[in-house]
Amino acid sequence: MASVVAEERRPYGPGVATPTTPVGPYKLIDLFCGCGGLTWGFANSHVGRFRSVWANDFNSFAAHTYNENFGAHCHVGDIVALLADPRTEIPQADIVIGGPPCQGFSLLNKNRTDDPRKQMWRPYMEVVERAGADVFVMENVPQLLQSAEYTEIVEEAKRLGFQVASAKLCAADYGVPQTRHRAFIVGCRFADPSSYFPPRKTHCNPQILSRLEAVLFDSEYVTLPQRWRTVRDAIQDLPKPEGTEVRNEATPLDLHFGRTPTPTSVARYHAIPEQGMNRLDLLRNAPELTPPCWVRKKEGGTDLFGRLWWDRPAFTIRTEFFKPEKGRYLHPEQHRPITHREAARFQSFPDEFRILGTKVEIAKQIGNAVPIGLAAAVAGAVSELLALRAEI
């Protein structure tokens, strides 16, 4: 049965058909929800199949955004404290989703060995148990899958009666204009989730697309994958940014504002004018403008002060994308960093998604979110998995 189901899996992602089987709405809980990128991928990309009933995040700005988009049921606070409070009622739900803090596993974290954030999967699994959920989806950085904590998570899931499947997924393979990699762990009480997860890829690196067309498509792809979406696809229609503040208007331009860079920063932008350039080109072209720490840096960090390419996906959007010294965040041709709206589009947020807070807090919410196109692909696979429950 499982092998037959695996062959009949449908792909999910932007522009891809969803199941014809009437299902849902499945009640959903989102933990460490941030602004709700993962929830949007489930509830709004698959309308009628998932309904958020409870959520939690420690950041009040993120919770405010979540409540603005999904209804006032995101609870602000430390999940450990909330679970210890006898007044906290965790509603029954079909599925729990969420990404426990990933900083404990990130390669950018120099103190990651003993970071307590690596244990936040424990309250997550407590909510899974208290909610009586039949499915859970946990998201994190790829390093999780090689960690001791991953083994502990799988063991705890099995103790609770779950079968588990996991995979490292690239957002660009599912229609997101960004080569961001994330790890997903899917648990299911009533079936083997590996029959449905990971979802088949809907998009493909154009460098290998022609080669794929010449042979029988591998089972990890849809029959005719599209090319990866690019920076040009995502932001070419936007005008030059105006002003330096968030605008209170229901248009894409609400988050499309600039910064006030120093004359030195502007000179650096002009010194690396071509797509794909980075700090090494700055050192060659204008050594007098290169910070001494970059001159001494002989390895690593080649994307710092880098320009994006028009015809490639963006690189990973982090929380300080507005600082080009943090990564490849310069516009392909304009002499400026990318705007908040451009970053949101690289994360595949629809323009109608309202993100609230200060400029810094909005950037955190954008950078910390699961790309919505990737979330939608995972949600599609989970939707079909949950539909199987009615047949058992």
Domains of the chain (ranges, CATH numbers): 2-225+371-386 (3.40.50.150), 233-368 (3.90.120)
Instruction: Report which DSSP code applies to 189.
Output: S
CA distance 277 to 328: 9
Q: pLDDT, tens digit, for every residue of 230-253?
A: 999 999 999 999 999 999 888 899
| Burial bucket for residue 205 (CB in 10 Å: 0-12, 13-18, 19+) | middle
Can you tell me the mean pLDDT for 45-74?
Answer: 96
Show the tokens assigned to 148. 């001791």
| Nearest partner of 262 among 336, 157, 162, judged by Cα | 336
CA distance 5 to 102: 33
Instruction: Report which DSSP code applies to 9.
Output: P
Can you tell me the mean pLDDT for 253-280?
Answer: 96
Q: pLDDT, tens digit, for every residue of 308-348?
A: 999 999 999 999 999 999 999 999 999 999 999 999 999 99
* Bridge partner residues of 226 (DSSP): 203
Sheet order of strands, 95-98 included? 74-76, 50-57, 26-31, 95-98, 135-140, 181-188, 163-170
Q: List strand residue ranges (DSSP E) for the chain, in order.
A: 26-31, 50-57, 74-76, 95-98, 135-140, 163-170, 181-188, 201-204, 221-227
What is the C-alpha radius of gyration for the chain, rounded to an integer number of angstroms? 21
pLDDT tier for residue 218 given thresholds of 50, 70 and 90: low
CA distance 116 to 317: 25
Q: pLDDT, tens digit, for every residue of 345-367?
A: 999 999 999 999 999 999 999 99
pLDDT at 57 over 50: yes
- For residue 109, the model assigns a pLDDT of 46
pLDDT at 108 over 60: no
| Nearest partner of 347 among 360, 356, 338, judged by Cα | 338
